[in-house]
Amino acid sequence: MSIHISGFFSEPSGWDAARISLGSSLAFFGLYAYFELLYDSGSLLLLVMGAAMGLSGIAELLPKNRRRSAIVLRVTAIAILVALIAPALSSLVSQ
């Protein structure tokens, strides 16, 4: 597995790349709604994951000339996901 930093700084890719992110965002929000409505126990984690995936999808749907806006949305989505991982890693290290 390799990470290509240039992918973060590229032009928005359009609908083909955005549909996976937007679909997963809808799935996370749907799961939250399901558990909240039926069991009254929706998880905040599902909302945060849905928001991060939605930001990633929106970044890919922007026009080609909105490259900087797409970069900001992508980095924000990654920062949100890293913020979810940080508390878990800190609890593992402290044990």
Judging by beta carbons within 10 Å of its beta carbon (0-12, 13-18, 19+), is residue 39 exposed, middle or buried?
exposed
Domain ranges in the chain? Answer: 11-94
pLDDT digits (tens, 9 = 90+) for 32-91: 999 999 998 888 899 999 999 999 999 999 998 888 999 999 999 999 999 988 888 888
The pTM is what? 0.84
